[in-house]
Structure 1
Amino acid sequence: MAKISSQDLGSQPIGKILIKQAVPASIGILVMSLNILVDTIFVGHWIGSTAIAAINVVLPVSFFIAALGMAIGIGGSSIISRALGAETKAKALKTFGNQISLTLLFTVTLVVVGLIYSDSIIVSFGGKGAIFNPAKIYYTIVLYGVPFLALSMMGNTVIRAEGKPKFAMYAMMIPSVSNLLLDYIFINVLDFGMEGAAWATSLSYILCFIYIWWFFLSKHSELKIDWSHFILKTSIVSEIGSLGFVTLARQAVVSITYLFMNNILFDLGGETSVTAYAIVGRMLMFAMFPVLGVTQGFLPIAGFNYGAQNYERVRQSINIAIKYAAILSTVIFILLMLFPEAITRMFTTDLRVIEQTPNDMRWVFAATPIIAVQLIGAAYFQSIGKAIPALLLTLTRQGFFFIPLILILPKFYGELGVWISFPISDVLSTLVTAYFLNKEVRSTLLVPNQTM
C-alpha cells in the first residue's frame, strides 16, 4: 500500500483517497469484529450458551468506559485533521497531548467506580439468574484492561487523522489475533473457563496499547509531543468535549439499549431470548464492517478539506462515501436474509436458540440498505466540528426512535415488537438525517446553481 501523508487528504482524487482510507479501516474493523465473533463462538461451544449471554451483559459497561477513549479520540482527531489542513500544527500537538490526559483521567476513575459497584451494575444490565456468576467473573477481569483499550481507541483515531490508515489497521488487528490465540490457550487448553476468556481479552488490549504508543514514538508519526502538551487547555478541552460528546452519547445510548433489551427480552423469553440478542448483536458488529470502514475513511477526508475550505471536495466526499456505503450495505442485507440459520449454528448447538434467532436476525437487518445516509450524514457534521447537529443526528436512531419503540411496541406485539423496532427506527432516522444533510450541503458546500 502506498504511503499516505496528511496532505494527500486534500490533493488526491476523492474516490482514490477514500478507498485508501476505507480499506485499511474496513480490514481493521473486520478483524476486530471477527475477534468478537469467533470469541463468542469459542465461548458458546467451550463454555456454554449462558456464557454468551453473560458476555453480552458485560460488553455495554466495558465498551462505554472504553468509548470515552474513542470519544476523546474522535473529538480531538476532528480538531487535528482541521488543524493539519489549516497548517496549524502547534494546535494539533496540544490537542493530542490533552487527549491523552483526558483519557487517563476519565477511564481510570470510571473503572474504579465500576469495580466498587460491580454487583448492582451487572444485575441492572440483565445479569440475572444463571447469567450473574459468569458475568461477574468476566466483568471484574475485563475492567482491568479497559483503560488500555480506551487509550488504544483514542490513539487509533489520531493515527487516521494523520492520514496513516495502514498503521491504524495493524493496531486493530493485533488485539483481535492475540485474543483468539489466548482464548484457545486459556479456555480450550488450560480450561480456565470464563476467567480464561476474560484474561485473553484484557491482555489483548494491553498488546494493542503497546503497538499504538510505539507508533507515536517512532518516525512514522508527525505528532511529536512533549510534557507541556499534556497540560490541559480550557479551549481545547471544551472543543474536544463538545465533539467527543457525540461519540460518548452514542455509546451511552448503546449501553442503555443493551440495558433495556437484556431486561425486556429476559422478561419475555428468558435466557434464550437474551442469547439470541447476543448473537444478533455480534452480527451487527461484524456484518457492518465495510460500511463502518467507509465511514471511518470519510472522517479525516471531510475534516481536512473543510479545514482547508475546499468545500467542493467535501461535497464530493459525501456523495462518494454514501454511494460506496450503500452498495456494501445492500450486499450485507442480501447475505443475511439468505443465511441466518447457518450463521446462528456457528455460535451454538442449543436448538431453542437456533430456532428463534434467524427470524429475529431478519427483522434486525431489514432496513440495512438505507442506513448509509444516516451513518455518513452524522459523521459529516462531526468531522467539520458542528457538535450539536452531529449529536442530534447520532442519537436519532437509538435515542429518539429505537428506545421509545422497544418500550411501547412489546406491549402490543410481545417479543415481535422488540425486533420490528430495529427497521422502523432505521427508516425514520435515515429520513431525518437525509433532510438535514441535504439542507447543510445546499447552504454551506454548494456554489450557486449547483444541486446535490
Structure 2
Amino acid sequence: MNKNSEALGKENIGKLLKKLSIPATMGMFVNALYNLVDTIFLGRFVGVDAIGALAIAFPIQMIVLAFGIMVGIGTASAASRALGAKKVEKADHIVGNAFLSIIIIGILLVTVGRYFLNPILQLFGATENLLPLAYDYMNIILLGSIFLTIQVVSNNVIRSEGNAKVAMISMMIGTGFNIFMDPIFIELLGFGIKGAALATIIGQTLGFIYVMNYFYSGKSNYKIMPRHLKPNFEYIKEIFSVGFPTFMRNVAGSFLAIVANNSLGYYGGDIAISVYGVIQRVLRFAIMPMFGIVQGFQPIASYNYGAENFNRVKDVIKVSLKWLIIYATISIFFVQLFPEQIIRLFNKDPELLSLGKPALRIVTIMMPLIGIQVLAGSMYQALGKPKPALIVSMSRQTLFLIPLILMLPSIFNMGLMGVYWAFPIADVLAIILSGYMIRRQIKKLDERITNNKIAGS
C-alpha cells in the first residue's frame, strides 16, 4: 500500500481534504468551464437554436456519463474500503472487474444510442426546429462515449487511492484541447455544431490515453493483472449497488429533462428551452466544483469507515459540509447580482435576455444550501449504504421537482414561470430531507464510537 493510501487514515482531516479536494475541484471546474465555453461558442457562432439543441442533448449525455459515474463511484467506495481493511488483492480484483464492466457498457451505449437516436431526441423534447442540430451533435458525441466512461471510472479509482492530481490532469488535458479547438472547428473550419462534438470526443480520447498510461506505468496503487479481469459477480454486485443511487440520480435528472423540456416547449416555445439550456450550463459551472469537494471527501470517508476510524468519518462529514456551504454562498452572490451579464455571454437575443434574467435568479435562489443535498448522497455511498443513498439521490428530482413542474404551471395557473419556480421549492424540500439524513448518520457514528470504546475497555 502506498503512502497516499496510508495518509487517508492518519493525516489531519482538513489538510487531507484540501489536498484531495482542490485537484478534484479544479478538474471539475475546468470540465464545467468546457460545457460553458462550448455553449457560448455555439450560441455566438451558430445561434440561439444551437443552445436549445444542447439543452436537448445534455440529459442524454448525462445518461451516458451516469454509467461511468455509477461504476466509478461504486468501485472507488468498494476498493477504498478494501484498502482500509488491508485487503489489497480484493481491491485489485474490484478495479479489474470495474474495467471489464464499463468496456461492455460503453460498447452497448454506442450501438444502441446511435441506432435509436432520432426517437430518443424526440422523447427528450426536440422540436422540429431543434431536431436536426441535436442529431448532428449527439450522433458524433456517442462515438466517444466508450472513452468517456472508461476515463470517468479511471479517475474515480485514481482518487480512491489518494492521487487526485492525476485525475485532475486527465480532465484538464481533454477539456483544454476542447476549449482551444472549439472556435477552430465551429467557426474557422465551418463545422458548426458538428465541430463542437468533434472537439469533445477528441478531447475525451486524449484524457483516456493519459489515464491508461498512468495505470500501465506502475505508479498506481492498484496492480491490475489478467486474473483481476475474471468476472466476480459478488464484486460486480457491490460496485453496481453502491454506484446505483448516483446512476438513478442522473437518470432521474434526464427524466426531469423530458418533463422540463416538453413543459417549457409547451408554455414558452423554443426560446424557453434555450433559456433552460443556458441555466443548465451556468448551474453546472457553479455546482461542479462542489462535486470536486465530495470527491475529495469520498476516499477519506470510505477508507476510515473500512478501518473503523469513525471519529475521522464524522470529522470529514462536518468539514466537507462547511466547505460546501461557504463555496455555494459565494457562487450564488455572483449569479444573483449579474444574471443579465452572464446570459449575454451566450447570446444577446432580446427574448433570451428578457426571459433568462428572472428565470436564472429564480432557479438558483436556494443554492447556498444545496451542498447539504450533494453531501448526503455521497456520504451514504462512501459508507457503502446504497439504500439511503438512493432515497437521498432520488428525492429532489423524482419526489419533488417533477411533480412540481407538472402542477405549478397548470393547477396553480403559474404558466411558464411555474416551471422555473418548481426548482427552488424542490430544493427546500430536498434540503430538509438531506439534513435529517446526515444528522441521523452522525448519531449512528457516535453510537459506533461509544461501542468501540466499551469493547476496548
Contact 2:151-2:211 at 8 Å conserved across structures: yes
Matches within 5 A, 1:231-250: 231-250=230-249
Q: Distance in 2 between matches of 1:175 and 1:445?
A: 43
Contact 1:290-1:325 at 8 Å conserved across structures: no
Equivalent residue, structure 2, for 1:431: 432
Q: Which runs of 5 or more structure 1 residues have no equivalent in the other structure?
A: none
Contact 1:314-1:445 at 8 Å conserved across structures: no
Equivalent residue, structure 1, for 2:420: 419
Contact 2:109-2:142 at 8 Å conserved across structures: no
Equivalent residue, structure 2, for 1:116: 115
Contact 1:322-1:376 at 8 Å conserved across structures: yes
What whole-Å deviation, never above 9, does each CA across 1:54-96 have from its counterpart, x for those lacking one?
1221121122123201110100110011111111011110011
User: Larger deviation: 322-331 or 371-380?
Assistant: 371-380
Q: Distance in 2 between matches of 1:239 and 1:219?
A: 26
Q: Distance in 1 between matches of 2:134 and 2:96?
A: 35
Equivalent residue, structure 1, for 2:364: 365
Contact 2:290-2:324 at 8 Å conserved across structures: yes
Q: Distance in 2 between matches of 1:189 and 1:202?
A: 19
Q: Distance in 2 between matches of 1:6 and 1:359?
A: 47
Shift of 1:448: 4.9
Distance 1:4 1:345, change over 3 A: farther
Q: Distance in 2 between matches of 1:368 and 1:197?
A: 30
Matches within 5 A, 1:138-217: 138-217=137-216
Equivalent residue, structure 1, for 2:104: 105
Q: Which runs of 5 or more structure 2 residues have no equivalent in the other structure?
A: 452-457
Q: Secondary structure at the match of 1:220?
A: coil
Shift of 1:444: 2.8
What whole-Å deviation, never above 9, does each CA across 1:28-70 have from its counterpart, x for those lacking one?
0110011110111001111111011112211211221232011
Shift of 1:287: 0.9
Q: Distance in 1 between matches of 2:372 and 2:118?
A: 40
Equivalent residue, structure 2, for 1:330: 329
Equivalent residue, structure 1, for 2:24: 25
Equivalent residue, structure 1, for 2:454: none
Q: Distance in 1 between matches of 2:3 and 2:403?
A: 44
Shift of 1:225: 0.8
Contact 2:141-2:200 at 8 Å conserved across structures: yes
Equivalent residue, structure 1, for 2:280: 281
TM-score when normalising by structure 2: 0.96
* Residue identity matched to 2:51: I
Percent identity of the aligned residues? 38
Contact 1:373-1:430 at 8 Å conserved across structures: yes
Equivalent residue, structure 2, for 1:220: 219
Contact 2:314-2:445 at 8 Å conserved across structures: no
Q: Distance in 2 between matches of 1:296 and 1:439?
A: 22
User: Larger deviation: 305-314 or 424-433?
Assistant: 424-433
Equivalent residue, structure 1, for 2:455: none
Shift of 1:154: 0.7
* Residue identity matched to 1:149: L
Q: Distance in 1 between matches of 2:346 and 2:446?
A: 47
Shift of 1:367: 0.7
User: Larger deviation: 439-448 or 252-261?
Assistant: 439-448
TM-score when normalising by structure 1: 0.97
Q: Distance in 2 between matches of 1:330 and 1:187?
A: 35
* Residue identity matched to 1:443: K
Equivalent residue, structure 1, for 2:298: 299
Contact 1:98-1:230 at 8 Å conserved across structures: yes
* Residue identity matched to 1:153: V
Shift of 1:443: 2.1
Query: Residue 441 in 1 paired to residue 442 in 2?
Result: yes
Q: Distance in 2 between matches of 1:371 and 1:349?
A: 30
Corresponding pairs, count: 447
Q: Distance in 1 between matches of 2:331 and 2:136?
A: 35
Equivalent residue, structure 2, for 1:356: 355
* Residue identity matched to 1:134: L
4+ runs deviating over 6 angstroms: none
Q: Distance in 2 between matches of 1:23 and 1:331?
A: 17
Equivalent residue, structure 2, for 1:47: 46
Matches within 5 A, 1:316-327: 316-327=315-326
Shift of 1:4: 6.5
* Residue identity matched to 1:445: D
Query: Residue 308 in 1 paired to residue 293 in 2?
Result: no
Q: Secondary structure at the match of 1:130?
A: coil
Q: Secondary structure at the match of 2:86?
A: coil
Q: Secondary structure at the match of 1:347?
A: coil
Q: Distance in 1 between matches of 2:248 and 2:320?
A: 24
Contact 1:66-1:107 at 8 Å conserved across structures: no
Q: Distance in 2 between matches of 1:29 and 1:290?
A: 5
Q: Distance in 2 between matches of 1:107 and 1:258?
A: 23
Q: Distance in 2 between matches of 1:143 and 1:79?
A: 29
